[in-house]
Amino acid sequence: MSYFVVERASVWFGGVHAVSDVSFRVPKGGIHGLIGPNGAGKTSLVNAISGMVSLSSGKCILDGREIQALPPHRIAEAGVGRTFQHAELFSDQSALTNVASGLFKHRGTTFFQDILGTPAKWRAESRVCDAADAMLRMFGIYGWRDCLVADLPFGIQKKVDLARALLTGSPFLMLDEPTSGMDEAEAQDVIGIARRIAREHGLTLLVIEHNMKVIMRLADRIHVLDHGELIAEGTPAELQTDPRVIEAYLGTAAHA
């Protein structure tokens, strides 16, 4: 049985089918890619899975449990994590605070402990900051620890977003263009970290990417969307020669 299943998912936006009858499966520990030209519906699909928008029809099943009807924070609690195309950070907070927010699901303190300031709370807080610091170091951005994220370059913001998402320890993680804003070396570096952590902890990844080199090397299997529909899926090797994929990406240019 697959760990994560999307079954006939559709998303309507004011008369437009952003996602149309998409189905696929991701096995536990797998790293799958989601590619397609701009406007194909990749981010809409991820938004629907994470609960930010409602699925107009279809199901999402995580580890045997249907999650599409849950409110977004419960979907997160169920084990779904994500990053955002535009980083979606807490703009007037520091990089450290942003990353530390990733540990919210694993808070060891109650509301009353938080407000009363018990020694247990301060100890927990210490552990949170240490974990966030370590994550920042791993991505090589410890130097921006106390900077306001709004002032950071986009590539660094994306790293903060990724660090935050990884710290949630979500067993199923969706990354929305994690390497955008980065040069080739940075991109490989970041993806290397993500893959290593995923393998170490048995995380399942679904990665939206535009950088073909990155996704071809990273993913076990890739799903291709175009105009909201799943037009192809397979291993990287299979897709590189698939005429439908080539058409989808180069089609408009050929007709121009």
Partner 1 sequence: MSDSAPIAVPAVSGAVPGKLARGLRVALLPIAIAVLLPPFLGSYYHFVASLALINVIIAVGLNLLTGNAGQISMCQASFMAIGAYTTSYLTTKVGLSYWLAMPSGGLLAALLGVALGFPALRFRGFYLAVVTLGFLEITQILVEQLPSITGGVRGISASRPYLFGSKLSNDLAFYYVVFAISLLGIWCAISLLRSPTGRAFDAIRSSEAAAQSLGMPLARTKIAAFVIAAFYAGIGGGLYASLVGFIDPLEFGVWTSIRHVVFIVVGGLGSVVGSIVGAVALTVLPELLRGFKEYNEFVFGSLLLLVLVLMPTGLVGLGPRVRSWLRRRADHMRDDK
By the rule CB under 8 A, 51 interacts with partner 1: yes
250 phi and psi angles, rounded to 5 deg: -105, -10
By the rule CB under 8 A, 120 interacts with partner 1: no
Distance CA 170, CA 206 (A): 12
CB 2 within 8 A of CB 29: no
Binder among 101, 188, 189, 216 for partner 1 (CB under 8 A): 101
Footprint (CB under 8 A) of partner 1, residues 180-239 = 197, 201
Chain centre to alpha carbon of residue 50: 10
Binder among 61, 129, 212, 216 for partner 1 (CB under 8 A): 129
Q: Which residues of 139-158 are buried (b: 16+ CB within 10 A; e: fewer)?
A: bebeebbeebbeebeebbbb
Choices 114-122, 209-217, 231-239, 244-252; region in contact with partner 1 by CB under 8 A: 114-122
By the rule CB under 8 A, 171 interacts with partner 1: yes
Residue 234 Cβ vs partner 1, minimum distance, rounded to whole Å: 29
By the rule CB under 8 A, 85 interacts with partner 1: no
Residue 71 Cβ vs partner 1, minimum distance, rounded to whole Å: 8
129 phi and psi angles, rounded to 5 deg: -65, -40
Distance CA 208, CA 46 (A): 9
Give the number of residues in contact with partner 1, rule: CB under 8 A: 65
Binder among 167, 207, 219, 239 for partner 1 (CB under 8 A): 167
Sheet of 4-13: strand order equals: 16-26, 4-13, 57-62, 65-66
Binder among 19, 45, 60, 103 for partner 1 (CB under 8 A): 103
Residues whose CB falls within 8 Å of the CB of residue 40, separated by 6 or more in sequence, listed in order = 225, 226, 227, 228, 248
Q: What is the contact mask toward partner 1 in residues 5 to 44, using x (rule: CB under 8 A)?
A: ----------------------------------------
CB 77 within 8 A of CB 131: no
Residue 197 Cβ vs partner 1, minimum distance, rounded to whole Å: 6
DSSP 77: H
CB 68 within 8 A of CB 59: yes
Binder among 122, 213, 235, 252 for partner 1 (CB under 8 A): 122
Binder among 38, 64, 146, 254 for partner 1 (CB under 8 A): 146
Give the residues lining the site for partner 1 (CB under 8 A): 50-52, 71-73, 76-79, 81-82, 84, 88-94, 97, 100-107, 109, 111, 113-117, 121-122, 125-131, 133-135, 137-138, 146-148, 150-151, 164-171, 197, 201
